[in-house]
Structure 1
Amino acid sequence: MIKAILFDMDGTLLDTEGIWNKAWTAVEEKYGFMFDPKIKDSFIGMPKQKMLEIKDSIIPSHLDYDEIQKFRVEFFHEYTSSHPIEIKQGAFECLNFLKSKGIKAIVCTSTYKERAIPWLKDAGLYDYFDDIVTGDIVKVGKPNPEIYEITLKKNHLHADECLAVEDTTVGVLAATGADLKTFYIKDILDISNEAYAKIYKQLDNLGEIIKEIGGQENE
């Protein structure tokens, strides 16, 4: 019996990844350098810890990484002040269904608490969740499974009682690394072949989880 669904946030619940991509483009234009497109794509879903590890290899040495990060975040906030963050298709239907069935809904996001909580509140999603686990509590970000392992322990859950929902390669590898059956819903990019081989099922949107959970209840 499924007791909880563990949701990634960026690109899964909230349509934020495209905005972050616009912010990186603004960085390129302001500071006069270009990322290799493959490197830029790799930023999608990348936790802050990993970004700090590789910053010296992706940011020209004459530029200040902290200044660039500040500009990037300011761009995001300015953009979303006039373009509210959109909620992914089927989110409300799915979360209402889980609540009606007494199934826990939990967020497992690489985004830090100072951003994740306000974004979920602004989107009207915050009150649907039984727990929100954010990237600032882990030592190693996705694709390491630590955030999922912490979430399971914190909520007294076993992996076989839960399903995860992810949209990126690093997210899928983190969830499956914690032995979670994982739904994949494509956002901007396809996931790697390695990650795709590990998923439980690919869905088109969050609303399809209703049928999946209903089907399992009847098994």
Structure 2
Amino acid sequence: MKVQGVIFDMDGLMFDSEKLYYQANLAAAKQMKLDYSDDYYERFIGASDEDLMAFFREAFGSEAQVQEFMRLTYQAIDQAIHQGRLEKKPGLDELIAYLEQQQISKAIASSNFKTKISDFLTATQTASHFPTIISMDDVAKGKPAPDLFAAARAALGTPAAETLVLEDSLNGLLAAQAAGIPCIIVPDLIKPTVQMQAQALTIVPDLLAVRDFIRNNH
């Protein structure tokens, strides 16, 4: 396939941030003396904060507890960023350089909010490479709904069949499919499921392999 545009997920795809969120969730739950199962986190990788908070309202039984949990979580994330613990995923710089060399359009479509996306891009010195960013501030529904990816593709102005979504989660893959855009999975914390293997365009080990895939099919 000829690739004219690439849409990046952010958390777990561009940056090794999912483990930071997980650690922050654990720390917040411990501080508040709340039960926190690994399953809580895994089921919402790639989903929006609204979906996460709706689940925690039911699990924790109190809106005040949910708000405090999220406040402590983001406090820990901000601290991690300021301590330089947010790392780029292997191959990110090389993939960005290749796309720019080939004049292939790119965008970020993330379930995160604009302020947090900006913090991450600034901390990793990648902000100048992504003038097009679609966040939860811009759409009605997060992943697995198609809104984020559909809006990003519209902003790029590229045909769906000649656009790629790069994702690490099932929620993201389902969102890309719902938007009619081929999706490459680059696994992060969760091993690809049988469903992901069947529905993804391909599954590759890192972003360098994404560069090679585009190069070989461009």
Alignment of 1:111-190 (within 5 A): 111-190=112-191
1:138-192 Cα offsets, whole Å, 9 max, x none, are 1110011111111122222221110110001111111122111111011011244
Residue 204 of structure 1 is matched in structure 2 by 205
1:110-139 Cα offsets, whole Å, 9 max, x none, are 110011012112212121224111121111
In structure 2, do the counterparts of structure 1 residues 31 and 214 end up closer, same or farther at CA, with 3 Å as the change threshold? same
Take 1:139 and 1:121, find their aligned partners in 2: how far apart are those partners?
26
Task: Among all aligned residue pairs of Structure 1 and Structure 2, give the percentage whose two residues are the same amino acid.
Answer: 21
The one-letter code matched in structure 2 to 1:154 is A
Residue 53 of structure 1 is matched in structure 2 by 54
Take 1:121 and 1:29, find their aligned partners in 2: how far apart are those partners?
30
- 1:62, distance to aligned residue in structure 2 (A): 8.3
Take 1:38 and 1:114, find their aligned partners in 2: how far apart are those partners?
27
Take 2:18 and 2:92, find their aligned partners in 1: how far apart are those partners?
16
Take 1:154 and 1:20, find their aligned partners in 2: how far apart are those partners?
29
- 1:63, distance to aligned residue in structure 2 (A): 5.2
Instruction: Identify unmatched segments of 5+ residues in structure 2.
Output: none
Runs of 4 or more consecutive aligned structure 1 residues displaced over 3 Å after TM superposition: 60-63
Take 1:155 and 1:211, find their aligned partners in 2: how far apart are those partners?
22
Residue 193 of structure 1 is matched in structure 2 by 194
Instruction: Identify unmatched segments of 5+ residues in structure 1.
Output: none
1:41-90 Cα offsets, whole Å, 9 max, x none, are 22322211212332321224385221221111111112332243100000
Residue 2 of structure 1 is matched in structure 2 by 3
Residue 14 of structure 1 is matched in structure 2 by 15
Taking only aligned residues, the RMSD between alpha carbons, in angstroms, comes to: 1.6
Take 2:162 and 2:201, find their aligned partners in 1: how far apart are those partners?
14
The one-letter code matched in structure 2 to 1:129 is F
The one-letter code matched in structure 1 to 2:184 is F
Take 1:201 and 1:79, find their aligned partners in 2: how far apart are those partners?
32
Contact (CA 8 Å) 2:105, 2:156: kept in 1 or not?
no
Which of 150-159 and 131-140 deviates more? 150-159
TM-score, length of structure 2 as denominator length: 0.93
